[in-house]
Chains A and B, each alone.
Chain A
Amino acid sequence: DVKVTQSSRYLVKRTGEKVFLECVQDMDHENMFWYRQDPGLGLRLIYFSYDVKMKEKGDIPEGYSVSREKKERFSLILESASTNQTSMYLCASSLVRGFSQPQHFGDGTRLSIL
Chain B
Amino acid sequence: ILNVEQSPQSLHVQEGDSTNFTCSFPSSNFYALHWYRWETAKSPEALFVMTLNGDEKKKGRISATLNTKEGYSYLYIKGSQPEDSATYLCAFPLGPIGAGKSTFGDGTTLTVKP
Across-interface contacts of B56 in A (CB, < 8 A): none
B36 shortest CB reach to chain A, Å = 7
Question: Are A45 and B101 in contact (CB-based, < 8 A)?
Answer: yes
How many A-B pairs have beta carbons closer than 8 Å: the answer is 67
- Size of interface on A: residues with Cβ below 8 Å to B: 29
Contact B51 A48 (CB under 8 A): no
Nearest A residue to B43 via CB reads A105
The answer to whether residues A96 and B100 also contact, given A42-B106, A102-B34 and a CB cut-off of 8 A, is yes
Residues of B within 8 A of A (CB-CB), count: 27
Residue of B nearest to A41 (CB): B106
> Would you list 7 pairs from A and B whose C-beta atoms are within 8 A, ordered by A residue?
A42-B89, A42-B104, A94-B100, A96-B100, A99-B94, A103-B102, A105-B44
Residues of A within 8 A of B (CB): 4, 30-31, 33, 40-43, 45, 48, 50, 56, 58-59, 90, 94, 96-108
